[in-house]
Amino acid sequence: MTIESALTYFLAIFVFAITPGPGIFALLAKGMSAGARPCLPLALGMTLSDLIYLLLAFYGLAALAENWGEAFTVLRYVGAAYLFYLGWKMWTAEVTNHTLLSAQHNSSVPTRDAIKGLTQGFLISASNPKVILFYIAFLPTFIDLTVLNRSDMVLVVGLTMVGLMLGLMLVASFASSARRFFQSERAQKGTNRTAGSLMLAAGAFLIAKG
C-alpha cells in the first residue's frame, strides 16, 4: 500500500466520519445534552462497528450482504426503534438545578454509562445502511482489497480507527461547545428537546435509507 493511497483513504474515512447520518445526529444529541466526554464511548462503539464491517470487507462483505440482506433489514429497523426510544427519553427528560450543576461539575463518565454509550454507538453504526454501503461500494475505489497483505490490513484498520475517532469527536466537541451557551433551566430543556429531535431524525433516516 503506497503512502498516497494511505493518505487518500485516511482523508476519505475522515470525511465519511463527519458526513451527516444517524451516528452524527446521535453524537450531536449526546454532545448537546451531556457534553463531549460522554460522547467518547458512543464514538468508540460506532468505530468498533465500522472496524467489524471493514474486516468483513476484507473477506467478502458484498457476498454476505447479498445472502443476509433480510438480517441487515431487521437490524436496521431495530436500530431505528432504539433511536426513537432515545429521542423520546431526551424529549421528555426533566431538567432541575441538580442536573444542571451535575452537568457543569461532573466530567467523569460512570462505567455503566460508558458501556451503555458503547452499545448505543455500536448498534447505531451497525444498523446504518450508509456504513454498509461505504465498505461494499466505496472502499474498493480507494483500496484494491485483492492485493492487500496482512501488514496493509493492519495499516488500513489503524487509519480507519484514527480517522473515524478524530472526525466523530470533532463533531462531539462542536456540539459540546454549543451546549455551553445554554445553561439556564429553560435553555437546557430546549436543548434536550433539540437533542431528542435529532435522535428521532436519526431513526427516521435509518428507515428512509432502506
Q: What is the pLDDT of residues 89-141, one digit of tens each?
A: 666 766 544 444 444 444 556 788 889 889 988 988 887 777 877 877 677 77
Instruction: Note the pLDDT of residue 35.
Output: 81
Instruction: Note the pLDDT of residue 61.
Output: 60
Instruction: Note the pLDDT of residue 34.
Output: 79
- Average pLDDT, rounded, for the chain: 75
- Count Cβ atoms below 10 Å from residue 66 Cβ, excluding itself: 10
In 3-state terms the chain splits into helix, strand, coil percentages (rounded to 5) of 85, 0, 15
pLDDT digits (tens, 9 = 90+) for 135-177: 776 777 777 777 778 888 899 999 999 999 999 999 999 888 8
Residue 56 and residue 205 in contact, taking contact as beta carbons nearer than 8 Å: no
- Residue 128, SS3? coil
Ranked by mean pLDDT, which of 6-15, 57-66, 88-97 comes out on top?
Answer: 6-15
Instruction: Note the pLDDT of residue 170.
Output: 92
Whether the CA torsion 173, 176, 178, 180 is positive or negative: it is: negative
Q: Note if the pTM is more than 0.85.
A: no
DSSP code at position 110:
-
Instruction: Note the pLDDT of residue 104.
Output: 47
> Could you tell me which residue, 1 or 66, shows the higher pLDDT?
1
